[in-house]
Amino acid sequence: MKKLGLILAYSVLLLSSSISWSGDRLDKSKMVELLHGIDLRIRSSGDYKALFYLEQREKDKADLVHEGLVYRRDADEKLIILFTKPKTEAGKGYLRIDKNLWYYDPTVGKWERRTDRERIAGTDSRREDFDQSKLAEEYDPEFVGEEKLGNFNVWVLKLTAKPGVDVAYPVVKFWIDKATSNDLKRQDFALSGRLMRTSYVPKWQKLYSESKKADLWYRQEIRIYDEVEKANSTLVIIRSVDLHPLAENMFTKAWLESKSR
């Protein structure tokens, strides 16, 4: 609770609209609608570019700090994570295309295929922390109950990955604010049932999307705590978002390789 108190002390920018169902229990259709609503708020109908800050803390080690850019074309499920700082990491990056995640290291000029369990830049973050949201498509929800999370009244759901879907974690426990329908906390579990990481979202932000004709929302800050290596934590901050169209040929191996030359 001490950890939670510190996190929720940050200002939380929340969505004004909400799904206001009465009753103590959500049925399956309402839970799916709730997850779908999160997916729609985050999804861009056009292109998306974000500047991010990524910090990893580990016991008895110097903090690792990265900066970079995220490029998304949600309609085609394309994603690039390109590191720009520090200098030793500049040009390294990830490319997701045709549902495959590739990692490129310009120091060896080599591409390697990775899974959604990949630790981004060796941190506790995963691809899904930077990408569009597909909760309703990838998970089956089960109602757990209602709780107080700090000052927030929340629904708690258990999400189980659908058969054949490749996700970072097959089981997720999800805390959703009843007043806004924004997710505030999640716990990720291995198939064995072991808790792997806990993350909090103390800040949400939005901007108007011309192509969407509606607001696009994003998790401006994510604080991730490693539940296996207890001293480890990761901070993800999205510093700015640009929704202007990107070059048509961007989402290719050749384009990412050109950024390191």
Query: Does any domain span residue 169?
Result: yes
Looking at the domain assignment, is residue 81 inside a domain?
yes
Residue 52: give its domain's CATH number.
Answer: 2.50.20.10
In this prediction, residue 18 carries a pLDDT of: 40
Residue 60 CB burial class (10 angstroms; 0-12, 13-18, ≥19)? exposed
> 32 is in which domain, residue-wise?
28-260
Mean pLDDT computed over every residue of the chain: 91
* CA proximity to 197, closest of 229, 167, 170: 229
Please give the structure tokens belonging to residue 146.
């209602």
Residue 9 has pLDDT above 70, yes or no: no
Domain count, the chain: 1
Would residue 3 count as lying in a domain?
no
Beta-carbon contacts of residue 162 (< 8 Å; ≥ 6 apart):
137, 138, 139, 140
Residue 22 CA to residue 19 CA, distance in Å, equals 10
pLDDT of residue 99: 85
pLDDT in tens, 233-261: 999 999 999 999 999 999 999 999 999 87
- Per-residue pLDDT of 134-154, as tens digits, reads 999 999 999 999 999 999 999
Residue 2 is assigned to a structural domain of this protein: no
Whether residue 22 is contained in a domain is answered as: no
Consecutive H or E run containing 135: helix 135-138
DSSP, residue by residue, 44-69: -SSEEEEEEEEEEE-TTSPPEEEEEE
With respect to residue 17, please indicate whether it lies within any of the assigned structural domains: no
* Residue 3 binned pLDDT confidence (cut-offs 50, 70, 90): low
Percent with pLDDT over 70 in the chain? 91
How far apart are alpha carbons 128 and 90 in whole angstroms? Answer: 21
Residues above pLDDT 90, as percent of the chain: 87
Residue 24: per-residue pLDDT:
62
In a domain, 11, yes or no: no
pLDDT of residue 52: 98
User: Is residue 33 a part of any domain in this protein?
Assistant: yes
